[in-house]
Structure 1
Amino acid sequence: MPERLTARRTIALVTDDFMPASGPPPAQAPDGPLAWSGYDASRARAAERTGEDESVLYGTATVGGHPCVLVAFEFGFLGGSLGRTAGDRLVAAYRAAAERRLPLVSLVATGGSRMQEGMVALTQLQRVAAAAVGLRRAGVAHVTVLRDPSTGGGWATVGAGADVVLALPSAQVAFAGSRVRPADADPAAYTAEDQHAHGHVDALVPPERLRGTLARWLRLLSPAGAPGEPPEPPRALGSPALPASGWDAVHRARGTDRPRATAYLDAYFTERAVIRGDRAGGVDPGVECGFGLRDGRVIAYAAQHNGATRPAGFRTAARLIRLADRLGIPVLTLIDTPGAANDAEAERAGAGPAIAEAFTAIAEARTPVTSLLVGEGGSGGALALAAPGNTWTVPDGYFSVIAPELAAQILKREPDRVPETAEHLRIRPQDLVELGVVRGIVPPSPSPGQHEAPSRGGG
């Protein structure tokens, strides 16, 4: 079990400076709203032990030079539990972040709602949820750090409701606290590592790396000004020659030696940070989503890595696009997949709804989206990440309504007619331009001193 850092120690660990909000806590009825015998005495002992007057403190801070509103839970104060006063402070912090348009950073360590305040305590979760809606409407980001433990309503609202979720290794992270779980429950399911494996946590970050990691996220999630023009498509990294035939295009896109999405991301961005998972229990390692810096401009990206895209991949991409849209950050998508995964597990995980979610996220985005086909473009699994009217291709790419082999099977053609079928489908980059499916074919990176615009045609 990790060392349990106090709120103040955690704040000192991650911030350059911290200015707590001033003002005494509001007066309470004797022993709280339920007149719970001994509640005042418990609070007094907790205050003496921790030096805090409540389980939540908040204020303004800077992290790596980036200003933010910061909330920290003190687990030593009645288990970091949420009562009316803690709820007041959380709501005040969310509102301050929204009004000042500063990102919110929350350092969570809580056991849940405070029993001594009964349903009054539990209803603080509704207040926090409403405050979170206000933060989202203001277009302000929320990054959380899950300390040990992060359970109950604090995890289910403040923690899990954040845009980016970081966690300390080995921390307890679960809705069910340690004393209310089934006796035969798998203990691994209640750890930060398991939440990360199942797409509920974006990254596990040891304490010594927290400040740098938070500073990076605050830099990437606090873009200056409006999103502006759509991102320029990356330049082609493979062969500049166009394929002579449809079947040639297929072989080129499936070749093991052509550049993959990772190479394009490395060449395009000077820095990037990844979000992980669909927040519904799934992670697709074949889809990378995150935010990066290009020439000082923040751009969100979703990139397929050449395999069949699983439902979690589509949902993660949709999550990324919606977050970028809310924050006013432009989006780049890199398309490279033979299609959506079509095994039984994918169908049970909701392949159809997940693909629909990705289509919808792009269709409703107000922020500009640019797409680049960098390899295979197989059917709806590829088109789901394509920006209507602003999709480009490299010479190594092809787009097809269906794989030529499958098309030949459906048409009951002999295998030797697959190349002919590929030609009929008109899937070459130059065909796609002529059909109006893509805007143009991007050229290779120009030599120093040259400036080359994407091509809108091809032979």
Structure 2
Amino acid sequence: MPSASDPLNWPGYPETLARARQQTGADESVTYGQVLIGDIDVMLIEFDFRFLGGSVGTATGDRLVHALSTARANGTPVVSLLATGGSRMQEGMFSLLQLQRVARECHLNRESGIPHIAVLRNPTTGGVWASLGAGADVILGLSGAQVAFGGSRVRSAEDADHPVFTSEGQFAAGLIDAVVTPDSLPVVLATWLELLTGGTPEPAEIPKALGGTELPATGWEAVMRARDAGRPRAAAYLESYFDAYQLISGDRAGGVDPGVLCGIGWRGGRSIAFAAQTGTATRAAGYRTASRLITMADLFGIPVLTLVDTPGAANDSASEAAGLADSISGVFTAVAAAHIPVTTLVIGEGGSGGALALAGAGRTWITPDAYFSVIAPELAAAILKREAGDDLADQLRLRPQDLLDLGIVDGIA
């Protein structure tokens, strides 16, 4: 007769479970408990691939639900160490339904501001990757691990060894935040836990200007100074501003924009999140990554600093096909919905809506070697059917001092 532990009355399943328990010394494929990582008390969930391939059955689902709900009740972050082939065949749809239960608990934890870091070990496949793993706030993949929704036994022969089905491939596609080694994992976990739990409600301080301090005489001079290849860029500002920082990567939808740096840093004993443009035309993936960063920071009470530096949003056909307008809308919405303060410093070009999307309303400053404009002067000339020249740049009132006089910015850094 079927039982709770053998709902399909699968031939030989009780004996298979007994062997797995004897070989591993564990009752199920998942163990959990509260531990210290660094100085942070966390709920640690660990899968054992030796136990029926780390598969999830009904008893496993019960354990995951209890671990996640306990973390929520105690307000402790979750670290999940995955190594799984997915759902347990011997329990059929009863096994698959556990993914809904796990996804719900992850959602409730996220709504409650409980950080979750997932570590993808070899292998991480199937529904567990799609429910517990891919929904984590920060995702770390161990170097060389197989990571895929479809495991190697269910993929076509030509895709069996494709590099996309690895931690490195998932990172390149913008689906995980970093690839780490087993030796570096403890330090990386401790650092991320400190950053995710170290927010305070005070706004981020304004970074000091790293470039020239003299204000431009004309609008065109402001544009040329902002476009100067020797001007300090976002990376220099981040290094100067933070004691240390960690980057997230990718939009979790298959895209990466190296022209946008997003992450969380440590400054003066507290965490500050950042989204920084690096001077290139920003792509849809960059805006989506920034949205992800701002939304995550808001959930965990971490103030945000944005560094604006872009000639504008990328306007090529590939960007349009990638949903550029929707991705920009997502950043506007994330900033507007945020309960934490968003502080902005324009450090270079502030080109149109592609720059404004990252600007915090009412908390925007500008450096002397930057400009902010409805559009670049050359493009304004094309639209207005005029010759591009100094007079048009002046008429746009895009210099730092113009923007201050107009009340567009709060100050010049």
TM-score (norm 2): 0.98
Amino acid aligned to 2:355: A
Amino acid aligned to 1:199: G
Secondary structure, counterpart of 1:237 in structure 2:
coil
- Distance in 2 (CA, whole Å) between partners of 1:275 and 1:86 is 30
Of the three residues 325, 335, 342, the one matched with 2:298 is: 325
- Distance in 1 (CA, whole Å) between partners of 2:218 and 2:49 is 66
- Distance in 1 (CA, whole Å) between partners of 2:3 and 2:29 is 18
Check if 1:174 corresponds to 2:115: no
Of the three residues 188, 195, 203, the one matched with 1:213 is: 188
Q: Per the alignment, do residues 120 and 165 of structure 1 end up closer, same or farther by CA in structure 2, a change over 3 Å counting?
A: same
Amino acid aligned to 1:288: L
Amino acid aligned to 2:165: Y
Percentage of pairs with the same residue: 58
Amino acid aligned to 1:338: P
Indicate the residue corresponding to 1:13 in structure 2: none
Deviation at 1:30, TM superposition (A): 7.3
- Distance in 2 (CA, whole Å) between partners of 1:291 and 1:411 is 42
Provide Cα deviations, 1:205-248, integer angstroms capped at 9, x if missing partner.
00000100000001001126xx3221111011111111111001
Structure 1 segments, 4+ long, off by >3 Å, are: none
- Distance in 1 (CA, whole Å) between partners of 2:290 and 2:406 is 27
Indicate the residue corresponding to 2:65 in structure 1: 91
Of the three residues 388, 402, 407, the one matched with 1:431 is: 402
- 1:155-194 equivalence runs, <5 A: 155-185=129-159, 187-194=162-169
Indicate the residue corresponding to 2:79 in structure 1: 105
- Distance in 2 (CA, whole Å) between partners of 1:335 and 1:348 is 24
Provide Cα deviations, 1:178-218, integer angstroms capped at 9, x if missing partner.
11112332622211111000111111100000100000001
Amino acid aligned to 1:273: Q
Of the three residues 250, 255, 272, the one matched with 2:245 is: 272
Check if 1:372 corresponds to 2:342: no
Check if 1:296 corresponds to 2:269: yes
> Are the aligned partners of 1:243 and 1:395 in contact in 2 as well (CA < 8 Å)?
yes
Indicate the residue corresponding to 1:335 in structure 2: 308
> Are the aligned partners of 2:65 and 2:101 in contact in 1 as well (CA < 8 Å)?
yes
Of the three residues 101, 107, 110, the one matched with 1:133 is: 107
> Are the aligned partners of 2:117 and 2:138 in contact in 1 as well (CA < 8 Å)?
yes
Of the three residues 197, 205, 208, the one matched with 2:172 is: 197
Deviation at 1:58, TM superposition (A): 0.2
Amino acid aligned to 1:127: R
Check if 1:254 corresponds to 2:227: yes
> Are the aligned partners of 1:30 and 1:40 in contact in 2 as well (CA < 8 Å)?
no
- 1:13-162 equivalence runs, <5 A: 29=3, 32-162=6-136
> Are the aligned partners of 2:331 and 2:358 in contact in 1 as well (CA < 8 Å)?
yes
> Are the aligned partners of 2:5 and 2:59 in contact in 1 as well (CA < 8 Å)?
no
Amino acid aligned to 1:268: Y
- Distance in 2 (CA, whole Å) between partners of 1:279 and 1:366 is 23
Provide Cα deviations, 1:267-318, integer angstroms capped at 9, x if missing partner.
1100100000000000000000000011001000000000000100000000
Q: Per the alignment, do residues 242 and 30 of structure 1 end up closer, same or farther by CA in structure 2, a change over 3 Å counting?
A: closer
Deviation at 1:31, TM superposition (A): 6.0
Q: Please give the root-mean-square deviation of Cα atoms over the aligned residues, in Å.
A: 1.1
Deviation at 1:249, TM superposition (A): 0.3
- Distance in 2 (CA, whole Å) between partners of 1:38 and 1:437 is 72
Deviation at 1:120, TM superposition (A): 0.7
Check if 1:400 corresponds to 2:373: yes
Long gaps (5+) in structure 2: none
> Are the aligned partners of 2:5 and 2:58 in contact in 1 as well (CA < 8 Å)?
no
Indicate the residue corresponding to 1:229 in structure 2: 202
> Are the aligned partners of 1:31 and 1:38 in contact in 2 as well (CA < 8 Å)?
no
Aligned length: 411
Deviation at 1:355, TM superposition (A): 0.6
Long gaps (5+) in structure 1: 1-27, 443-459
Indicate the residue corresponding to 1:21 in structure 2: none
Amino acid aligned to 2:64: L
- Distance in 2 (CA, whole Å) between partners of 1:290 and 1:361 is 15
Amino acid aligned to 2:168: E
Indicate the residue corresponding to 1:312 in structure 2: 285
Indicate the residue corresponding to 2:327 in structure 1: 354
Deviation at 1:145, TM superposition (A): 0.5
Amino acid aligned to 1:429: P
Amino acid aligned to 1:387: G
- Distance in 1 (CA, whole Å) between partners of 2:323 and 2:4 is 52
> Are the aligned partners of 1:31 and 1:39 in contact in 2 as well (CA < 8 Å)?
no
> Are the aligned partners of 1:249 and 1:398 in contact in 2 as well (CA < 8 Å)?
yes
